[in-house]
Structure 1
């Protein structure tokens, strides 16, 4: 099940309503805070805005802003600051400051020509607002956890644990809302989107949980210097993740370049491998495959025709679906052999090798054919039959040809997912 198309407007509306409510209830406190804490506010606004500019895009496409989020959490739990007055402001003031800082950051992104995602800023504002409210309003003795920071008799470890707890509450609201948005944008099942969101972001989540409270715990000792010191582990992690993502993108580009070898040599039509890969990924997501399997599926689909480079003469229009079964198996086997020589794509090679096996082998003989291999078979047949055209008549003709082999050559569940995926394809 995918969420309705109103998820993003609802999140934006909730963020705007929260900001307006904060203005109405904390306007007097905001003026006082800007006068008394202008230096602290300026430092955190700068950190959030700069963190928005220096973002990192994960392999799945998820954009993360760990420095900005950590800074916002630090502001939400901040208490005493060496050399400054204690940051004793209502949660509404924190929410307004974070929203304003996010607006500045997104404005800088637009200035530098980078994509602007207002929904991401709204999600962060909501999450940090929850953290700030819990920090100030938890029904505990002696004024609650924020006031405990000013009480030397309260154990520091207990305050740190509470900071981690309220930070986690806001962060996981952030992750869930981001997962809902992702499910809507990518037409993914909501359960899968949430699972991937919690799984992929988990590596940075623990760092974000620690960084915000660390800033607040350092501030009474080193003042505003606690902001860069507390963020240093997140910055180093950010740099490492960026390098990882860059390496993965280079890896994918290398595979994409290799997939065009058959096109350059004249064995397959231009764009065939890319179209089959794009359609295969759409089908995989519609079938709720895990992200790791979708990634292998994409690589295998990009390289599915690689074995054609060993042919003495090209297949007409490169349409392997029209070749004899023995020729199809030989092409798949040759391609898998080439890929296995890399010694890092064995799983992809296995998917490629089994892509030509008819579905009846599963039904009649109980053979094991991986679902990604079944997907590639259907996606390749669709592109061969439609000749890569998105014309409604060509699409209908391709589906009709596939339906003739339904349950015999092609997995009915995969074909159903193909039909659901076609409208989402460019």
Structure 2
């Protein structure tokens, strides 16, 4: 997303491989993984609710949101490729406070997210097999995803993620076409407007869909793919843009479904992941049981791809975090085989199972919400700082376009952060 059109400097890192000049589309993968991880069931519900309340009026916000996420993911991966350092190393260079914040955040976030993600994936399975309790499906989801991540390398992981996002794409886009979108209203929805009562939904659509902490994992997936020098910058940008265009198509499709199926009928959805079960019932009434079954398969693909992505990507982040705390230097190869990686897999899977039975304690909800609200402003602001500093070779620093998009992102996420923190104490 930088506007500097400079040629890549000579490779100085361990990997001297040069990207091919043709067939680059076949290399696309890490961005798809990041996008599939970032779009969870709760994100789809939030988009559905926006469509059900405001029709097509907020379509423009979904488009802007994709541009914002392209800028953030590109900035993170550009730092990896241009410097040979990870985001964690960049953050540590800004002061010890970043390690304290990130260390606390990743532990609290993982504990609560683990239970939330396992429950979301269990919901469609419990509909298919109602004789099996929801908590059993949740436990089986966590254990099977942990086992898959622990015993498979990145290539197998990426392939499975592509399969799930393919299922998501076909089903969600197919349903959006079947509900016969109003093209005229959709085009009008691309003109920015903020209907009364839609401000928070607008901000949420721009900033809330497509990943939080997993955006910092993108650079690790880029490196796992073998892209480790500035020579791969063009391939990374293609990969990133394709991924978030696909994400944008998901968001637009869900907004269309909400606008066409729910807006006119004023059908209300439950908040959180269970809202997708409400939509399942509406689809069954409108199109029959076959479409309902297909939608539940898409729901499952959406939810489990988020679980797999977090189990792999955030565990990689944690392993690198521990590596930095221990003062280890040199190659980052084999992070997925370290005790720290396996510990975080355990942390995401086993301790959160207690929350499946106990619910989420109030204090934990407050800490989780507050720390999570601060992460995206933290990411956007530190990217601006790092990508305009001498840590990055001059030709790969941010130009006016990248700085502008990252600045808009930072402002947006600060507003969302304030809203979230205020909401935690006023609900």
Report which of the two structures shows the higher radius of gyration computed on alpha carbons. Answer: 1
Q: For this structure pair, what is the TM-score category when the shorter chain's length is used for normalisation?
A: under 0.3
Q: With structure 2 as the length reference, what TM-score do the two structures score?
A: 0.24
Bigger RCO (CA 8 Å, 6+ sep): 2
